[in-house]
Chains A and B, each alone.
Chain A
């Protein structure tokens, strides 16, 4: 027994040395994300903010997304209650994802790459690596818990108690530890590392969806869900440490199970056989469009599911919109314009958010062509009678097509949900769709920029996302920060009217569309004549 794990502690020290930069960033970034928004929430809580938030988040659609609160009446909803209600589940999910990736990356993935064989040829036990990685991950999560607790306390905000702050931290840590346990288990069962990662994240997603249902229907059932143990701690309100104990026991059992499975399997093998793929390609794959649709399929489908869901989540707010906006001066400035019905002005802002969200997908598709190029995946294709124009335009068209579909789904989801929760309104679904497609040229503009970058400066393709985030910031906060017109106009969204509060302007629509097409042509010109970047 002992020799299986021989010298694991030496590996552990080795791993701390190897990973310290990653660990530092992990704890800092996740810690700040989890604990750092307290000042923003204090701002939101001012005036009737807490009551408004309470009403909004009590909506079942919101509960299924962010989780429940034990508070039964608005007056008892404190800053701490609101903070853990909104932030705990998501922070826990992030902690879980990072731990899963870390554990599988350093166990199964290294094994698949043949690195483990190298380590084993030194004098360490067969399973020393797995044990060391598990202990490392647990340790990182515990430090994270303390770090989160300390940051939260440091704001010395009203209602953020010391006990609650550390419980909040440990709840996030337990999410990470459960993630590590699931990861190490899947690493044994699955035939290869990518399948282990996929299935671990899949299990997490499934637990999330199930708890979304049980939180609304019967919260006792969420107590049976490992993900439930994270937020059912209810920091700052009930301060329930019991579920942390559940989580620890659960993780321990799973980890022991995983290690014993590992002891009985061959290196590089899993318990589930590798699924046999196709020996021959389907007809639909056998062309450049077929290939790129296939390569982007996963991304496209997940976003096309996410768009209407996110749209509906925003749409669900319409029911409590009045309370929500009345409650807080900041929100009010952001979303309302004088003399316009509240749902129309709210819609114009939300649609802008939706459009920028939808723009992520086409940018990702255009950028994908470059990562394929740089990964050398296209080398052999360059030796066939495929023209560069085919590669370029296939991806530009695919990006345009998913933008049109995605925008419809997002705005449709928003409008559908909004109309179903509003008691009386003058708006109908067509108003939502028209307001959405009114902004389509701004997405096309982002595609044009993406093409331009692909053709001329592909190494800088990340700036597209920076510009997208910047546009979001400018348009979202234009109202509160009183940004000057010249700054507001640096975002392509600003070049189009705010529907439904302003009316459609054909000239703007046409000009931006034509400019965008011009940009893609310019990008093509560069793409056609530049060196393909291969591996450099």
Chain B
């Protein structure tokens, strides 16, 4: 089998709003794909089409080689999905809802369920109306991770989770990744998927603007550098790969091309470094670069 998910020229409008203009990408077997874009870019819309929750206007979308709208029943036997905003029935407890989701999915594993509840530190006896957003998210994640699937689709899975739990989530996803499962992971924060994703697909205003593995995309990104030196920091201006240079006394603030990092470091060390801070590229930086050409 070639691709698990295959999307070609997907379009979708809600009234006058064109949410998806032309979306194409795929997910291969055993691949983890990060689906990145700012809020309102069309990530959830794409994912809902993949699940047969809404119907596409044009284009094609297949999972396991089957049409996502027509054959959704067949497809759903072998996928796990956690929506971006997990909303639960207030009168049921977390434990009850997890059991229900697992049962409706069909291939649950009790021990894995109990293990995950402990791992995520969820109180399964609490009525879900008392849960915070993070706890509701945990319920969705536990139910999805405790069943056997070939493809896992997570829509902004870590929104609302505290950093510790985000860590747990990443570790658990790494485990299923090792089992050669495929994963589609959406997020509006680049660094969230960096650790897990083999490849990222970047969407903006309903269009895919970039896709490739992260290293390939590095050329598009520049890190933000704050440098303080004993010598004259303005010398950095002449170094290849330094952009948008601003000087404040002995401090220079600039963006650095990754392929020129070495030259930059050599020049900086000549000036005697007192302080060197690097901030990783943000999604916004990436877009800036993309649109600057």
Contacts and interface: CB of A to CB of B under 8 A. Distances in A.
Contacts of A274: 126-127, 130
A382 B83 CA distance: 10
B40 interface: no
B92 A385 contact: no
Contact of B125 (A277, A530, A536): A277
B96 A280 contact: yes
A281 B96 contact: yes
Nearest to A530: B55
A272 to B, nearest CB: 14
Interface in B44-91: 48, 51-55, 73, 76-77, 79-83, 85-91
Interface stretch (A81-89, A371-379, A418-426): A371-379
Interface string B84-123: 0111111111011101110111100000000000000000
A279 B95 contact: yes
The secondary-structure label for the interface of chain B is mixed
Interface stretch (A40-48, A285-293, A430-438, A517-525): A285-293
A383 B100 contact: no
Contacts of B89: 295, 377
Interface in B1-35: 14
B153 interface: yes
A535 B144 CA distance: 22
A383 B80 contact: yes
Contact of A385 (B100, B105, B124): B105
Contacts of A288: 104
Most B CB atoms within 10 A — which of A280, A286, A287, A532? A280
Contact of A386 (B86, B104, B127): B104
A531 B53 contact: yes
Contacts of A280: 95-96, 99, 124
B106 A385 contact: yes
Given A277-B93, A277-B96, A286-B100, A535 B125 contact: no
A451 to B, nearest CB: 20
A322 interface: no
Contact of A278 (B51, B53, B77, B93): B93
Contact of B95 (A281, A381, A531): A281
Interface residues of B, number: 44
A147 to B, nearest CB: 36
A301 to B, nearest CB: 13
A531 B85 contact: no
A266 to B, nearest CB: 15
Interface string A288-329: 100100110000000000000000000000000000000000
B90 to A, nearest CB: 7
B129 interface: yes
B83 A384 contact: no
B99 A281 contact: yes
A279 B126 CA distance: 8
Given A294-B92, A534-B48, A383 B129 contact: no
Given A280-B95, A376-B87, A385-B73, A285 B55 contact: no
B131 to A, nearest CB: 11
Contact of B99 (A286, A383, A534): A286
Contacts of B52: 382
Contact of B96 (A192, A276, A285, A529): A285
Given A277-B125, A383-B153, A532-B53, A376 B99 contact: no
A505 interface: no
A384 B153 CA distance: 12
B202 interface: no
Nearest to B93: A277
A369 to B, nearest CB: 13
Most A CB atoms within 10 A — which of B48, B54, B96, B153? B96
**Contact-residue bracket for chain A:** 35 or more
A276 B96 CA distance: 12
B129 A379 contact: no
Contact of B87 (A377, A386, A532): A377
B197 interface: no
Contacts of A4: none
Interface in A383-413: 383-387
Interface in A117-135: none
A529 B55 contact: yes
B143 interface: yes
A225 interface: no
Given A380-B83, A534-B48, A281 B100 contact: yes
A387 B77 CA distance: 11
Nearest to A535: B85
Contacts of B99: 280-281, 285-286
Given A274-B130, A380-B81, A380-B140, A385 B104 contact: yes
Contacts of B130: 192, 274
A278 B143 contact: no
Contacts of A349: none
A380 B76 CA distance: 11
Contacts of B87: 375-377, 379
Given A274-B130, A278-B125, A379 B103 contact: no
30 contacts: A274-B126, A277-B96, A277-B126, A278-B93, A279-B125, A280-B95, A281-B96, A281-B97, A281-B99, A281-B100, A281-B103, A282-B96, A285-B96, A294-B91, A295-B89, A380-B143, A381-B104, A382-B52, A382-B81, A383-B51, A383-B83, A385-B73, A385-B76, A385-B105, A531-B54, A532-B48, A532-B53, A532-B54, A535-B85, A536-B14
Interface of B: 14, 48, 51-55, 73, 76-77, 79-83, 85-93, 95-97, 99-101, 103-106, 124-127, 129-130, 140, 143-144, 153
Given A194-B129, A383-B79, 19 more contacts: A192-B129, A192-B130, A274-B127, A277-B92, A278-B93, A279-B124, A279-B125, A281-B95, A281-B99, A294-B91, A376-B85, A377-B87, A380-B144, A383-B51, A383-B80, A384-B104, A531-B55, A534-B54, A535-B85
